[in-house]
Amino acid sequence: MRLSYLLSSVFALSTLGLAPAANAFCGFYVAKAETDLFNSSSKVALVRDGDRTVITMANDYQGDPTEFAMVIPVPTVITKEQVHVSDPALLEHLDAYTAPRLVEYFDDNPCDERKYRVFSSAPMMDGAVLEKESSSEALGVTIEEKFSVGEYDILVLSASQSDGLQIWLDNNGYKVPEKAKSTLGSYIKQDMKFFVAKVNLEAKAKAGGEMLRPIAVAYESPKFMLPIRLGTVNAKGDQDLFVYALTRKGKVETTNYRTIKIPSDKELPIFIKDDFGRFYKDMYATAAEREGGHGVFMEYAWDMNWCDPCAADPLSRDELQELGVFWINDSSDADVLQRGRPMPQAQDVYVTRLHVRYDAESFPEDLKFKTTGDRQNFQGRYILRHAFEGEMQCEAAKEYKIGVNKRKDEEVKTLANLTGWQREDIFDKIKESGMGQKFDVSKPVKDTKWWNKIWPGDE
């Protein structure tokens, strides 16, 4: 059998219009006037070593920038030097590199006496600012820092009471959902600060582009966590959050929710080649439901020195440094020839991709993490195994076809179990697609000798 090529990735879902219709962010959006503000998905790169953390947050907000503002709890006061506006392409690259992948294999001719396996390298897949400061003291709100970075005006607030903070935000043009009050209070009790950002229109015009760029924040704190509860305040329905944790030691897992590996290395019917987006979406929903909605799913965990098969090139040293991987040294910058093509090497960086679908009920606590010493690789990987479709004229062919038919039955059973799809519907889909149908084993197989091939027209 030979590995042919990578077909797709979950990253491609958005381009197919199949991205989950969910809203998410680790903070919450606050709207001026009555405008609804919410984001439809979020990606967070979380760089962690010791007590040092660099978090880069991206969203796909595409509304009026004058209506954009967000509040994110942070463990310490943040100064201007700790904030950076990053390139959206970095998270897109990280997302593509870590995305679950679909691979194809092709059976060899069972009648070919030269039994061999060809291992080919997988081709790369080309998935406010605030006024009214005089009232702050009376409300128990302190403006710890106030600065601008890129297209954002940023405030870092501390507060002594949730009522005061909520009133202060309202007085300064933010519409804070009433139900956010208790959540704000819990963060205040933990002595956390509030990172408030809104768009500076003049700076945004100079920066150009339609999308808001990701914000990166660096800080030191023993807390290794990601606040998600405020993200449920003005979200509509379930939310999807992708966390890309970059560490020096190994995998990252959650400590207050179960971390589960997404089902992987499953053989599927061939028609999934054209329906991978729907398959993965339904498989994820089924897996999450079986975990009672509380699961944190690991979709990828890998040493970033390499990948096999690769869904995208590994990130370069410059890209990792831009994401905040502060421990990499200059010697890791070398591009080396690997499998006949230059591939950037990222030494001493291990990435874990976690996918969380949550709402306020299923995830009542923020995500808390730990870094493990486990560096065993894992990837969400799905397999299409093509049967040999050429001429088979030998005794071994019948046994091969019977085996392939059994394999196809197992593939249908696996697909039904993973997605909840009905087997009858799957069989209909196989017939409709014309791909991966069973062999007719009722016909006798003629054993053809080599001399029969010299004069095939003779009776």
Helix (H) or strand (E) holding 395: helix 395-419
> What pLDDT, in 10s, does the model give residues 164-214?
888 888 888 777 777 777 888 899 999 999 999 888 878 877 777 667 789
Q: Which neighbouring-strand residues pair with 94?
A: none
Determine contact, residues 445/393, Cβ cutoff 8 Å.
yes
pLDDT at 54 over 80: yes
Q: How confident is the model at residue 124 (pLDDT cuts 50, 70, 90)?
A: very low
Helix or strand run (H / E) with residue 359:
none
User: Are residues 237 and 283 both part of a single domain?
Assistant: yes
Task: Say which DSSP state 402 is in.
Answer: H
Examine the domain organization and report whether 298 and 398 are in the same domain: no
In a shared domain, residues 238 and 308:
yes
- What pLDDT is attached to residue 235? 65
Q: Is residue 212 part of a domain?
A: yes
Same-domain pairing of 226 and 95:
yes
136 vs 253, which has greater pLDDT?
253
At 126, which helix (H) or strand (E)?
A: none
pTM: predicted TM-score of the whole model, two decimal places: 0.80
- Report pLDDT for 334: 46
Q: Summarize pLDDT for 258-303 with one digit per residue, the tens.
A: 999 999 999 999 999 889 989 998 999 999 999 887 789 999 999 9
**Same domain (yes/no): 350, 391:** no
Q: Are residues 276 and 226 in the same domain?
A: yes
Instruction: Report how many domains make up the chain.
Output: 2
The answer to the question of residue 123 being in a domain is: no
pLDDT at site 62: 61
Residue 202 has a pLDDT of: 82
Asked if residue 351 and residue 314 are part of one domain, the reply reads yes
pLDDT in tens, 73-94: 999 999 999 999 999 899 989 9
Q: Does residue 19 carry a pLDDT above 50?
A: no
Residue 275's domain spans which residues? 28-111+144-328+346-383
Q: 6 has which bridge partners?
A: 103
Indicate if the pLDDT at residue 66 is higher than 90. Answer: no
Residue 295, pLDDT score: 85
In a domain? residue 171: yes
415 burial type by CB count under 10 A (0-12 exposed, 13-18 middle, 19+ buried): buried
pLDDT at residue number 230: 79
263 found inside a domain: yes
Average pLDDT, the chain: 79
One domain, residues 436 and 292 = no
pLDDT tens for residues 20-35? 333 334 444 443 323 2
